[in-house]
Amino acid sequence: MADNGMRQTLFTLLTILCFSTFFISCNQKSKEGMLVLTQMKGDVPAGDYTSGKMWRYLPTARLVTLQPDNPKGTLQVLTPDFYSACGPKIAYDGRFLLFAGQKNENDTWQIWEMDLSNKKTRQVTASSENCIDPDYLPGNKLVFSKLMDKGTLKSGHMLFTCNLDGSKISQITFDPSTYLASTILQDGRVLTIGKQLLPNEKKGAFKVMRPDGTKQELFFKGDPTTSIHSPAWEMGSGKIVFAASNGQNQNSIISIDYNRPLHSMTNLTEGLQGDFYGVSTLQDEKLLTSYRANKDNLFSLYEFDAEAKTLGKPIYQDETYQILEAVAIKSRHRPKKLPSEVNPEVETALLMCQDINITAMEDEGNDKTVEGATRFEILGIDASLGIWDTEKDGSFYLKMPADTPFRIQTIDGNNQIVNGPGSWLYLRPNERRGCVGCHQNNEMAPKNRQPLAVRKDPIQIGFAKNGNDIEKYVIE
Amino acid sequence: MKKTRLLLLFGALVVLGLLIYFPGHKWARKHVNYMTAVTDHPLKCTSCHLSTSKNAFIVKMLNEDYFSPFNSAVSKDGSRLYVVSQDLDQLLVVDTKEKTVLDHIMVGVHPHSVILDQDNSLAYVSNQWSDNVSVIDLATSKVVDTLDTGNGPSGLVLSADGRFLHVVNTFGSDLSIIDLTSKKEIKRLVTGSDPTGTALSPDGKTLMVTSRRARMVPYGEPLVSDLTLINDSTQLITKHMDVEEAYLMENIAFTPSGDLALMTLIRPKNLVPTVQVEGGWMMTHGIGVIEQNEDGRIVQLLLDEPNSYYSDPFDIVISPDGKMAYVSNSGVDCISVISIDSIRAIIKSTSTKRLETIANDLGMSSRFVLKRIKTGANPKGLTLSPDGKKLYIAEQLEDRIGVIDTETLIKEKSIDLGGPDRITVARQGRRLFNNAGHTFQNQYACYTCHPDNHEDGLVYNMAGKDMGRNVTNTQSLREIGDTPPFKWNGKNQTIYKQDGMRFSTVLTRTEQFSYDDLDALVAYIKRGIKYPPNLMYNPHGELSEAQLRGRELFNRSEDNLGNVIPENNRCITCHPPPFYTNLKAFDVSTLAVTDDSILFDTPHLNNIYASAPYLHDGRAKTLEEIWTIYGQDDKHGYVNDMTKMQLNDLIEYLKSIRASEYYQEEETEQQASFVKTD
């Protein structure tokens, strides 16, 4: 009898457990296959590309989900408690969402993460400055842009990484440039839009770096009229797509090849009238894009076939809201988790240049090798840090303070500048880096030659201790 | 009462189990942490103790016999493909239409290449590890003759008149010319180092032989490899051409018109401090184009792209119309399809002055590579059907022949050779070893610096702390499984540590191996690596008189004057059999000013003849130089009392040392003598 009673109790408990599990799973319905859209009422603000202030901070925007096979169905608002939210990025397992949000109008923008199964949000960053443009990094981390606003000083965004719980915040860019709209390439590197602010502003270009900020280099810059206007998305085919304008008011969808980004730019929407606000990957060669035929229309969501270069029918249009960003909720291949050579306990880094007289001019087919530079000058933010002789083979080898921006120019025996100054550089603590030349062709591998400079100890370059302070170089 | 006793017994057993389990678990954790140098490697005893077991039964149970196709040749009518199965010592006869294997013909040891005679009645198979060529009657599928060659026969080509067989001897670094009438070797010509590839020009006048190793030069001097040109009719060397900054030139092919010869090559960056991978700073891969005109320039072009590398180019074949070339990129499992007309245009517009510049230009490949076609694991030898419509690919670690329709450039159904379906742990490890996917942007595989599981003969600037310091001679991986610790400084107690996290931080610079992959890689390196026998210096295990005298010197405890040599300065003390290492670290007075202060892990000496250059930084080009130039203070063994003849004998003995399996008994004897001495 007692056994029977026990069995009955057990059966009842199991039944309750099964039903509970069923109801819980119904409640936490998978969002796989749905789309997350950024909606915004009113006109799209004109981009302030220098600071990114207008372009990346959309007022009163909200995130919603959409079932693409039932676009007329009700949209679900994901961020009803937010004054504004945008910049959605989906986790690699398709279960979570990162976005930048403002709870109240006067709040700073912070990074939030949402569990898509129950729409619960969790604040990741809690900075006094605006934090935007997050993306997931492998290893439960993220990268984001943080405004380094110094009151009356001109603003710039630096890249930071942190754990998903907001701990271990680490700055990874240190030069006087602003960095926005990061995305993670499958090779594990951060692809971001970088724009030099000092001493003169330059057009934004895609820069790539390891998640610890090391090995930063130019990835894509287009021609002088190209302005990049959206984050990049990497397709399975190895193509990278983004929205950019070409000296006009309207944006196109541009594609570049991961394998050779500097020389593979293709305008996928050439011949198509209209404006493309942004683009993201859907599947295979299919893209999601925010498009409007003319300025009188609102941006709507369309599918775009990157192979056929054709715009499909609209997936979703709204009479009130602009559809500015769209990402598909789906699990995707996790990028490589790159090891880090950064050692925070080391205050310096090493830089070696094979030959300062190797420049891009040599590679452009005119057989004209620029010769003559025998010295080089290191320029800090507001002062020269010294001039040194190169070795006979044109090489030099430096030990630099880490996380400190500098530029290099080459000089001949008569103190005339031969080349430069080049772009800003900085090295992370313990980073070791090599250059083939100065202003060299970015596609040139080094000669297999031991530079004379590394047969000696490195030249020690000393900077002021707070040389990396943003206030030093962010000016009105 | 009985129930209580049972409960008590059960309780006691549980307590006993817990007492054993927790300390045992703690001990196992500590042991695994030490072996792997990480704290989170799964506690799986089988990872190490099963996959790397030497027990014959376990080895048999765990492993499989794979065909591992390496090269092939096709019949004139295209109906038969003859496939070299390197691991099973066979030549497989394949029906290309039905895609089935018709016959298995046993050949010599570790066959390398196969060619057919002009009327397709005979096949010649070079047997790299038995120093001969099998002659096969294709009508009967029988080996009808075995021709002796030099050491390590690989590439084969018939003379223009078909009377002579040219055999490239990889280990001997020469070329045997065999008279097919008398079936005797009539001539041996010196080639570059470690040659394999060979091709005869369409006019039948010039034979070219590529080399895989660069000429040995002091560290810091430019890398140069040898391309040997031989006059087919006079059978004389006409020229040794310098191929600058390149090595591992595996194979070569002529265009049908004879205007160009194309060879595969790698351009290593061993002289550049290894501070980054980005931008082709470690390895680049490409082809060499040899103009067949008066200039005779060698134009090098990279197959790589700025963010993507096509590592370990192995074979190259050219279409009958001379328009297309196909290269197998073994490290990334793909075929690069090349437009030869585009190459002609590039070299026509390139001045000699710019050759070095374009050789390092990662953007060039977009001008001549038409397509990359994915293949199965580790594509090696390529063969085009006579009409050029089918490309056959020996997918070595897939155990099948891939087939590409060259008109559509699309892969067809492969030819399954009938090998095992199961991928063993060691096989998986071998795939990882040969694949560049675990290096940033696929820039190099383990194989790249360790071709044939050995070493590439180069010294690298590993830039341990500062650049320019600690240059390091690549070590062979043959028989290292039982000779811990690893690295020249012996800092890595296991291969797990050697190839673990730090490996990814300083060398591959991408995500580290998963623990399953690391287990597989370690299993392969420890137990899966096969290596050639020492047929050059000790083919039968009987030492020559000089080697016997050398052995006495190696084992001696007194010098020529009868003085006792301190025990720690005798060869045998630090280099006892069977591995000829005591697994300890010593100062042998070879530290360079650019080295950090370290003791040197005593290297094993099995098959040391094949591992030049020597010493940790490769400064000794030969074994002799270890003592004649770099051992004058007698700290690396007491040798300076020896006469020149005695040193020669000692070297002869060292060269005779074979695999460890031959010295297991000597180990016992050695141990016994130590006990006696004690």
Q: Among B203, B227, B244, which residue terminates a domain?
A: B244
Count of domains forming chain B:
2
Domain pair A35-328 / A348-473, same fold: no
Q: Among B223, B244, B265, which residue terminates a domain?
A: B244
| Top-confidence residue, B549 or B597 | B549
Whether chain A has a CB inside 8 Å of the CB on B439: the answer is: no
Tell me which residues of chain B, numbers 236 to 255, contact chain A at a CB-CB cutoff of 8 Å.
245
* Among the partner residues B271, B280, B362, nearest to A449 by beta-carbon distance: B271
Torsion (CA) B22, B24, B29, B32 in degrees, nearest 10: -170
Torsion (CA) B456, B462, B467, B470 in degrees, nearest 10: -90
CATH number of the domain enclosing B123: 2.130.10.10
State the pLDDT confidence band at B49, using cuts at 50, 70 and 90: confident
- Chosen from A433, A450, A452, A455 to mutate, greatest number of chain B CBs within 10 A: A450
User: Quick one: tokens of B26?
Assistant: 């703690």
Distances (CA, A) of A179 to A46, A138, A399, B529: 19, 20, 26, 49
Whether chain A has a CB inside 8 Å of the CB on B267: the answer is: yes
Please enumerate in sequence order all residues whose Cβ is within 8 A of that of A416, keeping only pairs 6 or more positions apart, or say none: none
Nearest CA among B65, B121, B84 for reference residue B392: B84
Encode pLDDT of B239-266 as tens digits. 999 999 999 999 999 999 999 999 999 9
- Asked whether the predicted pLDDT for residue B54 surpasses 60, the reply is yes
User: Quick check: is B664 in a domain?
Assistant: yes
* Among the partner residues A258, A445, A453, nearest to B360 by beta-carbon distance: A445
Whether chain A has a CB inside 8 Å of the CB on B285: the answer is: no
Classify B323 as helix, strand or coil.
Answer: coil
A348-353 and A432-435 as β-strands: parallel, antiparallel, unpaired? parallel
Query: What value does the CA radius of gyration of chain B take, rounded to a whole number of Å?
Result: 27
| CA distance linking residue A67 with residue A28, whole number of Å | 16
Classify B18 as helix, strand or coil.
Answer: helix
Roughly what angle, to the nearest 10 degrees, separates helices B515-523 and B425-434?
100
Stretch B547-572: mean pLDDT:
96
Alpha-carbon torsion B16, B19, B22, B28, what sign? negative
Alpha carbon of B334: minimum distance to chain A alpha carbons (Å): 15
| CA distance linking residue A63 with residue A65, whole number of Å | 7
Whether chain A has a CB inside 8 Å of the CB on B217: the answer is: no
Tell me which residues of chain B, numbers 494 to 553, contact chain A at a CB-CB cutoff of 8 Å.
501, 504-506, 509-512
Q: Do B510 and A188 touch (CB under 8 A)?
A: yes
* Among the partner residues B363, B463, B506, nearest to A260 by beta-carbon distance: B363
Q: Do A434 and B267 touch (CB under 8 A)?
A: no
Distances (CA, A) of B502 to A345, B32, B477: 18, 17, 19
User: Quick one: tokens of A308?
Assistant: 């056929």
| CA distance linking residue A463 with residue A380, whole number of Å | 8
Q: Is A361 exposed, middle or buried (0-12, 13-18, 19+ CB in 10 A)?
A: middle
pLDDT confidence of residue B1: 63
| Top-confidence residue, B502 or B652 | B652
Classify B609 as helix, strand or coil.
Answer: helix
DSSP labels for A348-403?
A: EEEEEES-TT--HHHHTTS------EEEEEEE-SSSEEEEEEPPTTS-EEEEEETT
Beta bridge partners of B534: none
User: Quick one: tokens of B480?
Assistant: 């290292």
Phi, psi of A376 (to 5 degrees): -140, 150
- Chosen from B369, B466, B515 to mutate, greatest number of chain A CBs within 10 A: B466
A331 neighbors A116 (Cβ within 8 angstroms): no
- The two counts, helices (H) then strands (E), for chain B are 15, 33
| CA distance linking residue B394 with residue B381, whole number of Å | 5
Encode pLDDT of B209-244 as tens digits. 999 999 999 888 999 999 999 999 999 999 999 999
Q: Enter the DSSP assignment of B416.
A: E
* Among the partner residues B219, B466, B512, nearest to A339 by beta-carbon distance: B512
Alpha carbon of B463: minimum distance to chain A alpha carbons (Å): 9
* Among the partner residues B361, B466, B511, nearest to A337 by beta-carbon distance: B511
Distances (CA, A) of B254 to B123, B322, B350: 22, 9, 21
Q: Do B275 and A363 touch (CB under 8 A)?
A: no
User: Quick check: is B150 in a domain?
Assistant: yes
| Top-confidence residue, B671 or B285 | B285
Torsion (CA) A281, A286, A290, A295 in degrees, nearest 10: 140
Residues of A in contact with B276 (CB under 8 A): 215, 432-434
Tell me which residues of chain B, numbers 377 to 436, contact chain A at a CB-CB cutoff of 8 Å.
none
- Asked whether the predicted pLDDT for residue B380 surpasses 60, the reply is yes
| CA distance linking residue B394 with residue B383, whole number of Å | 9
* Among the partner residues A188, A432, A446, nearest to B269 by beta-carbon distance: A446
A62 neighbors A347 (Cβ within 8 angstroms): no
- Chosen from A357, A448, A459 to mutate, greatest number of chain B CBs within 10 A: A448
Encode pLDDT of B431-478 as tens digits. 999 999 999 999 999 999 999 999 999 999 987 677 878 899 999 999
Whether chain A has a CB inside 8 Å of the CB on B224: the answer is: no
| CA distance linking residue A6 with residue A4, whole number of Å | 5
Alpha carbon of A406: minimum distance to chain B alpha carbons (Å): 20
Roughly what angle, to the nearest 10 degrees, separates helices B644-656 and B545-555?
100
What's the ipTM? Answer: 0.92
Q: Enter the DSSP assignment of B90.
A: E
Residues of A in contact with B280 (CB under 8 A): 445-446
Residue B595's closest chain A neighbor by CA? A455
B601 neighbors B489 (Cβ within 8 angstroms): yes
Domain carrying residue B578: 545-677
Alpha carbon of A410: minimum distance to chain B alpha carbons (Å): 21
Q: Do A433 and B276 touch (CB under 8 A)?
A: yes
* Among the partner residues A259, A261, A448, nearest to B269 by beta-carbon distance: A448
Classify A153 as helix, strand or coil.
Answer: coil
- The two counts, helices (H) then strands (E), for chain A are 4, 33
Stretch B295-305: mean pLDDT:
95
- Chosen from A454, A455, A459, A460 to mutate, greatest number of chain B CBs within 10 A: A454
User: Quick check: is B572 in a domain?
Assistant: yes
User: Quick one: tokens of B59?
Assistant: 């080895």
Q: Other CB atoms closer than 10 Å to residue B493's CB: what's the count?
A: 15
Nearest CA among A181, A162, A185, A166 for reference residue A338: A185
Task: Write down the CATH number for the domain with range A348-473.
Answer: 2.60.40.10
| CA distance linking residue B221 with residue A450, whole number of Å | 8
A396-401 and A459-460 as β-strands: parallel, antiparallel, unpaired? parallel
| CA distance linking residue A97 with residue A135, whole number of Å | 9
Residue labelled with tokens 């020492």: B534
Nearest CA among A224, A254, A220, A259 for reference residue A238: A259
Residues of A in contact with B222 (CB under 8 A): 448-449
Domain spans in chain A, listed from the N-terminal domain onward: 35-328, 348-473
Q: Any alpha helices (H) in B37-109, and if so which ranges?
A: 45-49, 56-62
At the topology level, CATH places domain A35-328 in Neuraminidase (2.120.10)
At position B514, the amino acid (one-letter code) is: S
Alpha carbon of B388: minimum distance to chain A alpha carbons (Å): 29
CATH number of the domain enclosing B655: 1.10.760.10
Longest Cα–Cα distance of chain B, Å, equals: 106
Kindly give the confidence (pLDDT) of every residue in chain A, 476 residues in length, as a single tens digit, with 9 standing for 90 and above. Answer: 445 666 666 666 666 665 555 545 444 456 788 999 999 998 887 766 666 667 778 999 999 999 988 877 788 999 999 999 999 999 999 999 999 999 999 999 999 999 999 999 999 999 999 999 999 999 999 999 999 865 444 578 999 999 999 999 999 999 999 999 999 999 999 999 999 988 888 889 999 999 999 999 999 998 888 889 999 999 999 999 999 987 777 899 999 999 999 999 999 999 999 999 999 999 888 999 999 999 899 999 999 999 999 999 999 999 999 999 999 999 999 999 999 999 999 999 999 999 999 887 554 444 445 568 999 999 998 888 899 999 999 999 999 999 999 999 999 988 899 988 989 999 999 999 999 998 778 899 999 999 999 999 999 998 654 434 434 433 32
Residues of B in contact with A341 (CB under 8 A): 505-506
DSSP labels for B441-495?
A: GG---HHHHSGGGS--S-EEE--SSSTT--EEEPPP-TT-TTS-SBSTT--BSSH
pLDDT confidence of residue A10: 62
Q: Any alpha helices (H) in A379-473, and if so which ranges?
A: 470-473
| CA distance linking residue A10 with residue A433, whole number of Å | 66
A90 neighbors A75 (Cβ within 8 angstroms): no
| CA distance linking residue A449 with residue A445, whole number of Å | 12
Residue labelled with tokens 């800090």: A380
Nearest CA among A55, A217, A178, A192 for reference residue A474: A178
Residue labelled with tokens 């050219």: B318
Whether chain A has a CB inside 8 Å of the CB on B356: the answer is: yes
B530 neighbors B643 (Cβ within 8 angstroms): no
Q: Do B302 and A442 touch (CB under 8 A)?
A: no
| CA distance linking residue B214 with residue B674, whole number of Å | 43
Ramachandran area for residue A225 (φ above 0: left; ψ -120 to 50: alpha; else beta): alpha
Q: Do A450 and B276 touch (CB under 8 A)?
A: no
